[in-house]
Amino acid sequence: MHYTADWTELAAGVRKYVHRWEPDDGTEPAALICIVHGLGEHGGRYHRLAAELVAAGFVVLAFDQTGHGRCSAPRGSIHSYSALLSDIGAMLGWTTRTYAELPRVLLGHSMGGNLVLNYVMRNADSKTAHLPQAVISSSPMIRSSREPGWFFERIARIGLRIAPNLCLKSHVVAERLMSDRNEQHDFDEDELFHKCLSLRLGAGLLDSGRWLLKNASLLRVPTLLTHGTNDYLTSPVASTEFANLTGDICQLCLLEGHLHDTFRDVGREEVIDRFIQFSRSFVRQTVK
């Protein structure tokens, strides 16, 4: 596997730190998988997953989102929620030019799982947006497992008008994300991971999750939605509600006993195999 990471101009005025994993044995890749990472993360945290996907015949890309990884913006802060969606569009546009012959799968985890669903649904009728052939949404932030009370949300909305980039600290611990000890160790040692959430980003995720449930009929890209039943961060119940509202276009896979990071959890082989088989099915359809 060949891995590179560098600053890349995806579109005019959009410069991101892009991680790229490609086969180095002369194998012709079947498709491209573009990863949108979760809150606090960065593209480099997906190295192990990318290695599995490359071994299965895919090119894999990920970029550090605003307020994350090597981006210079304050940790957990964003310009706007819509700007996050625009960045995904810029990334897909760049991949269309750079890997023109490859079908594209958009894979998002947690916050990224929310973003990829919102991106394809809000651009469902667009004539100019770059859309993938398929979507994988892993443990999406449609609704938190512990929704904020109405009083806390009201106070936060007032604070949002005064100081939108005020950051709250999360109390995420590795043991609640995944059960694999090596992954827990990597999480604890990751200097680029942060636990900050600005009021603007928090409100954007809350509102966009509610929008997904209200507009589920707009999902028109074939989607695999996976969620661990023991996820304490994002709600598997909300994922089930969403999938039930979308019809056959969305395949729901509830993973019994899994935590939030299902593809980093013990038993992740089953999860990653689902990612691979789902992606391959749309490669075959595209070739036909």
More confident residue, 192 or 159: 192
Strand ranges inside 53-126, DSSP E: 58-63, 104-109
Residue range 34-45: average pLDDT? 98
Q: What is the pLDDT of residue 287?
A: 46
pLDDT band at 285 (very low <50, low <70, confident <90, very high): low
Q: Over 50: is that where the pLDDT of 229 sits?
A: yes
Instruction: Give pLDDT, residue 286.
Output: 54
Q: Which of 232, 274, 27 is nearest to 137 (CA)?
A: 274
Apex CA 214: angle with CA 210 and CA 216, to 5°? Answer: 110
Please, what is the angle between helix 199-214 and helix 111-122, to 10°? Answer: 50
- What is the arithmetic mean of pLDDT over 99-114? 97
Helix, strand, or coil here: 41?
coil
